[in-house]
Every structure is written in structure tokens, then in C-alpha cells.
Amino acid sequence: MTGTTEGSAPRRTRIQQEKRELILEAALEVFSANGFRGSTIDQIAEAAGMSKPNLLYYFRRKEDIHETLMQRLLDTWLAPLRELDDIGDPLTELRSYIRRKLEMARDFPRESRLFANEILQGAPRIRPMLEGELKTLVDEKATVIKGWMRAGKIARTDPWHLIFSIWATTQHYADFDVQVRAVLGADRGGDGRFEDAARFLEQLFLDGLKPKS
Amino acid sequence: MTGTTEGSAPRRTRIQQEKRELILEAALEVFSANGFRGSTIDQIAEAAGMSKPNLLYYFRRKEDIHETLMQRLLDTWLAPLRELDDIGDPLTELRSYIRRKLEMARDFPRESRLFANEILQGAPRIRPMLEGELKTLVDEKATVIKGWMRAGKIARTDPWHLIFSIWATTQHYADFDVQVRAVLGADRGGDGRFEDAARFLEQLFLDGLKPKS
DNA sequence: CAAATTTTTGACCGGTTGGACAAACGTTAG
DNA sequence: CTAACGTTTGTCCAACCGGTCAAAAATTTG
């Protein structure tokens, strides 16, 4: 640990970087499938192709892996919401936010499930982040949305619950994937289900269910 | 429940009935908060006010408790969907289905979380039921909804994804309760959040976000 | 090369967990 | 009272799990 001290981030060798990455990837697989308490260090080590003590050389405690994973996750997970911008047509903005979120559910289901697992258990490890960083971000975007409503660009509703409903409907396709596939069956449960979902959600959020008449 | 032997259901004394009920209530509390693997028999026993061997006298294995719980759960959990009827105004029917589901999320959050936990882990213990009983029920209701669409009573969309979206948006308030409260904050995260959610969801599903103009 | 440092591993440990078991306890019927 | 039956508990065990440690192996450095 020589040379210039770098804030709090420890210096790491190239091999440490790679192995840590390997472990985090394996841990994401295992944690998202079994939850934190349901996963064992041995499982993660095996998935990463190394022995348990070797893994513990890179991460001292099981919780350290989970914590690191969680920190990285939140950044990428909230990126779509951060991109929700005041410039451009409101309805278009919301539509692309929904689309981006749905794509994340499709492309990063493990991340979604890891997050869902944490929240389901009461978010013991990230509650401060929810009440701090997340709340701030959502409040900020809610203000933007309220502006759109005042300007008559979208219908008046509760912006917070609107955001909740977008989270719920999109992440559902990652978190409840097994159920979705089971209900849709072999024929409709294939790759096309995300396109069907995208079409449906667009209509739901824009027009609702009332008939044109 | 006296006298005659009833198929495969084992005969039980009154005290057995009561204690089993007590255990299932305690297990619901513990399982829904910690997941299956995250819960210990000791925890359940303590929550039920008895010793571990005593608990194991009523349920031979930990998994038996979970299985029994799961079977009962599914019945009550799908009741609102079963009630979705072809009689009455379609939009009203859907609106009350959403309301009933939201009430269940409010009144039975533990059941919702238990179910979510199971699905998240890949539904190892109830997959057959999803592909069988659940799929049948949903397909049946999808047909009803399709009829409404053909009759011009509601807009044309994918009935399956419509049902998914109702599940997702309502159960979100039970499964992600911690997050919802954190984001809404102390002032808006109180008991009123379910009424706000009900109002929002009604508007979303009926009219969508497009402004009246 | 050899010394120093980093990486990997086998063996081990203490605590926990699911579950077995026999003995004790309580209750009821004869 | 006592025998029979249902209930409860203390004790025990084997498997598992998170984590330690010292020593070997590999790699880097001089």
C-alpha cells in the first residue's frame, strides 16, 4: 500500500481487479437466484471458479460482496430515471423512460431480482440510500412531472405513484419472469413477450382502457 | 369434521388444529420477512410460543410448513381474479378488481411478500401450479376480457399483459412497501398512501396519461 | 538468479441449523 | 388408581456455513 493515498479507494493490482470482477459477476448470479441468506460463499466461489478461502482473500466477508454489488447496482439501476429530462415532449419522454426500464428488465433481470430481494427483506442494507439519494432523485423528477401537468402537457395525477407504477409494471417482467412465462405458456412466453409488453404498456400509460368511442 | 374419514386428509384433534393454525400464522410472519432459507425453525417456534421439538411434532419438516402455507395462500390470493365476472359493466368490473387487489396488498402484505419470495426464487415449489391452475384461470379470464374488447366496451389490448400490469401495480405496494414509504417520506408515506394509490391507479387504467385537451 | 510479495489452497474451528429421540408431563377413560 | 394416549421438552447429532490460518505456490521485483 505504497505511493499516494487515494481517498478511501484501496490500490489494487491488475489481477485483483479482474478477480474481484469475476467474483462480483458470480455473486450476482447466485445472490439474485437465492437471496443473500440463501446463498453460500461456497456457491459463489464455485461459480467464480475458485476456492472459498481464495474468494475470501479478495472479499473479507460475505457481506462485503453484497455491499459492493449493491452500490454498483443502484447507480446503473437509476440511470434511466436520471435521464428523464425536462427537454423534449413530455409524453415522448415518459414513453422512452418506460421503454428503457423495460429493456433493463429484459437485459438485466439478475440485477432487478437482486434489488427486489433486498427490498422484500426490508432493505436492511440500503434503507439510508432509499431515504436519501433515491427520495431526492424521485422528488426532483416529480417536480418536473408536475410542471408538465401544470403546462397541460399530460393529465394531472400523482407523480410519485406514476413513477411507482412504471417501476412496478416494468420490473415485473424480470422479478416475476417465471410466473409470466408460466401463464403465457410455451407459445407466447418466448422472446416476443417483451415486445408485447412494450406495446401494451405504451397503450396503458398513454390512453388507458376506455374505448375510443 | 367429525367421524367419517375424509379422503387423504389426516384426522386431527381439536388441539392439533389450533396449534397447527398457530404455527402457520407464526410461519407466515417469519417466512414473509426472511424468505424460506432465511428463516429458522427456532424463529417460527418462538413466534408461535413453543419449543422447536414441539413444533416439529405438528409439522415433521420445515418444508411441510411452507408447503401448507403456500397451498392455502394461492386459494385466497386468486380469489379476486376468480370474482372477475362477465356480468356487469366491464370498466366497473376491472375497476373493482383493481380495488380488491389493492386492498389485499394493504391488508395481507405478508401473504404478498411470501408469494413474491417464492416467485423470485424461481417458484421451485409451486411451478406446476403456475403452469396448471393459474394459467387456466388467467386464460379463462383473458377470454372474458377479449369479449369485452370485441363488444367495444374497453379498448383493445393484450388481456394477459393487462392482468400482469394489475398484479404488478397493486402488489408493488405490499412487496416494495419499504421503498414506497422511503420515497414518499414521513408526511405522505402514512396510511393515506393506499388511497392515493387507488386514485392514481383508477385514473391510469381508465384514462391513461394523455391530457384531456 | 534470489528475495520479496502476492496469490492459492488444505485443514481446521466455532457457531448454527434441521431434525431425531426418548423421557417426562398432562389428560382422560375405565 | 392406573393404563392409554396425546403433548411437551431437554438433549443430542450430523451437516452446513462463515471465516481463520499457516503454509505452499506463483508471481513480481531487484
**Residue with more model confidence, A24 or B11:** A24
**What is each CA distance from A57 to A19, A60, B30, B151, in whole angstroms?**
10, 6, 34, 66
CB contact under 8 A, A134 and B183: yes
Rounded average pLDDT over A108-112: 98
Q: Report the CATH number at residue A52.
A: 1.10.10.60
Both A42 and A112 in a single domain? no
CB contact under 8 A, A167 and B164: no
Asked if the structure places residue B135 within a domain, the reply is: yes
Q: What pLDDT was estimated at residue B103?
A: 98
Distance (Å) from the alpha carbon of B44 to chain A's nearest alpha carbon:
16
What angle, rounded to 10 degrees, do the helices at A109-120 and B159-175 form? 40
What angle, rounded to 10 degrees, do the helices at B41-48 and B14-34 form? 130
> Would an 8 Å CB–CB cutoff place A112 in contact with chain B?
no
Compute the C-alpha angle B125/A43/A65, nearest 5°: 110
pLDDT at A173 over 90: yes
Cβ atoms of A171 and B174 closer than 8 Å: no
User: Would you give the DSSP letter of residue A192?
Assistant: T
- DSSP, residue by residue, A82-140: HH--SSS-HHHHHHHHHHHHHHHHHH-HHHHHHHHHHHHTT-TTTHHHIIIIIHHHHHH
Task: List, as ranges, residues 146-165 from A with C-beta within 8 Å of B.
Answer: 152-155, 157-158, 160-162, 164-165
Pick the range with the lowest mean pLDDT from A12-16, A43-47, B83-87.
A12-16
Task: List, as ranges, residues 113-152 from B with C-beta within 8 Å of A.
Answer: 113, 116-117, 119-123, 127, 130-131, 134-135, 138, 152
Both B138 and B187 in a single domain? yes
CB contact under 8 A, B162 and A200: yes
Both B15 and B47 in a single domain? yes
Q: What pLDDT was estimated at residue A6?
A: 36
Tens digit of each residue's pLDDT (9 = 90 or more) over B113-135:
999 999 999 999 999 999 999 99
Q: Which residues of B touch A66 (CB under 8 A)?
A: none
Q: What pLDDT was estimated at residue B4?
A: 31
> Would an 8 Å CB–CB cutoff place A192 in contact with chain B?
no
Question: Does the interface predicted TM-score (ipTM) exceed 0.85?
Answer: yes
Phi/psi region, residue A50 (left: phi>0; alpha: psi -120 to 50; beta: rest), is: beta
Both B96 and B196 in a single domain? yes
Both A116 and A143 in a single domain? yes
Q: What pLDDT was estimated at residue B6?
A: 36
Chain center to CA of B161? 18
Both A40 and A122 in a single domain? no
Calpha distance A24→A66 (Å, rounded): 8
pLDDT confidence bin for A9, thresholds 50/70/90: low
Asked if the structure places residue A2 within a domain, the reply is: yes
Asked if the structure places residue A212 within a domain, the reply is: no
Tens digit of each residue's pLDDT (9 = 90 or more) over A118-129:
999 999 999 999
pLDDT confidence bin for B9, thresholds 50/70/90: low
Q: Which of A73, A125, A154, A204 to mutate to test the interface with B (most CBs of B within 10 A)?
A: A204
Count the domains in chain A. Answer: 2
- DSSP, residue by residue, A6-66: -TTPPP--HHHHHHHHHHHHHHHHHHHHH-STT--HHHHHHHHTS-HHHHHHHSSSHHHHH
- B123, B167, B183 member nearest A135 (Cβ): B183
Q: What pLDDT was estimated at residue A209?
A: 84
Helix (H) / strand (E) element for A3: namely none
Separation of B71 CA and D29 C1' (Å): 65
Nearest nucleotide by C1' position to the A18 CA atom? C7
Calpha distance A126→A18 (Å, rounded): 26
Asked if the structure places residue A191 within a domain, the reply is: yes
Both A202 and A132 in a single domain? yes
Both B136 and B78 in a single domain? yes
SS (H, E, C) chain B: CCCCCECCECCCCHHHHHHHHHHHHHHHHHHHHHCCCCCCHHHHHHHHCCCHHHHHHHCCCHHHHHHHHHHHHHHHHHHHHHHCCCCCCHHHHHHHHHHHHHHHHHHCHHHHHHHHHHHHCCCCCCHHHHHHHHHHHHHHHHHHHHHHHHCCCCCCCCHHHHHHHHHHHHHHHHHCHHHHHHHHHHHHCCCCHHHHHHHHHHHHHHHCCCCCC
Tens digit of each residue's pLDDT (9 = 90 or more) over B153-173:
999 999 999 999 999 999 999
Asked if the structure places residue A66 within a domain, the reply is: no
Which grid coordinates are listed for B132?
396448471
Both A106 and A192 in a single domain? yes
> Would an 8 Å CB–CB cutoff place A197 in contact with chain B?
yes
Asked if the structure places residue A136 within a domain, the reply is: yes
Both A123 and A171 in a single domain? yes
CB contact under 8 A, A165 and B204: yes
Which of B60, B82, B98 is at the close of a domain? Answer: B60
User: Would you give the DSSP letter of residue A158?
Assistant: -
> Would an 8 Å CB–CB cutoff place A194 in contact with chain B?
no
Q: How far apart are the first and last CA of chain B?
A: 63
Residue of A nearest to B165 (CA): A169
Spatial CB neighbours of B98, under 8 Å, sequence gap ≥ 6: B166, B169, B170, B198, B201, B202, B205
pLDDT confidence bin for A10, thresholds 50/70/90: low
Nearest nucleotide by C1' position to the A63 CA atom? D18
Nearest nucleotide by C1' position to the A13 CA atom? C6
Distance (Å) from the alpha carbon of B168 to chain A's nearest alpha carbon:
5
Separation of A210 CA and D22 C1' (Å): 73
Rounded average pLDDT over A135-151: 97
Which of A36, A60, A84 is at the close of a domain? Answer: A60
Beta bridge partner(s), residue B6? B9
Both B116 and B174 in a single domain? yes
Cβ atoms of B141 and B81 closer than 8 Å: yes
Asked if the structure places residue A192 within a domain, the reply is: yes
Rounded average pLDDT over A145-164: 96
pLDDT confidence bin for B14, thresholds 50/70/90: confident
Q: What pLDDT was estimated at residue B211?
A: 79
Residue A87 phi/psi, 5° resolution? Answer: -85, 150
Which grid coordinates are listed for B136?
387456466
Q: Report the CATH number at residue B140.
A: 1.10.357.10
Which of B22, B42, B60 is at the close of a domain? Answer: B60
pLDDT at A7 over 80: no
Nearest nucleotide by C1' position to the A41 CA atom? D18
Both B16 and B104 in a single domain? no
pLDDT at B10 over 90: no
Tens digit of each residue's pLDDT (9 = 90 or more) over A67-109:
999 999 999 999 999 999 888 899 999 999 999 999 999 999 9
Asked if the structure places residue A193 within a domain, the reply is: yes
Rounded average pLDDT over B34-46: 97
pLDDT confidence bin for A213, thresholds 50/70/90: low
The per-residue pLDDT of chain A, averaged, comes to: 92
pLDDT at B7 over 50: no
Q: What pLDDT was estimated at residue B177?
A: 98
Nucleotides of D under 7 A from a protein CB: 6-11, 16-22, 28
Rounded average pLDDT over B194-198: 98
Look up the domain containing B52 and give its range: 11-60
- Chain position carrying cell 433486498: A118
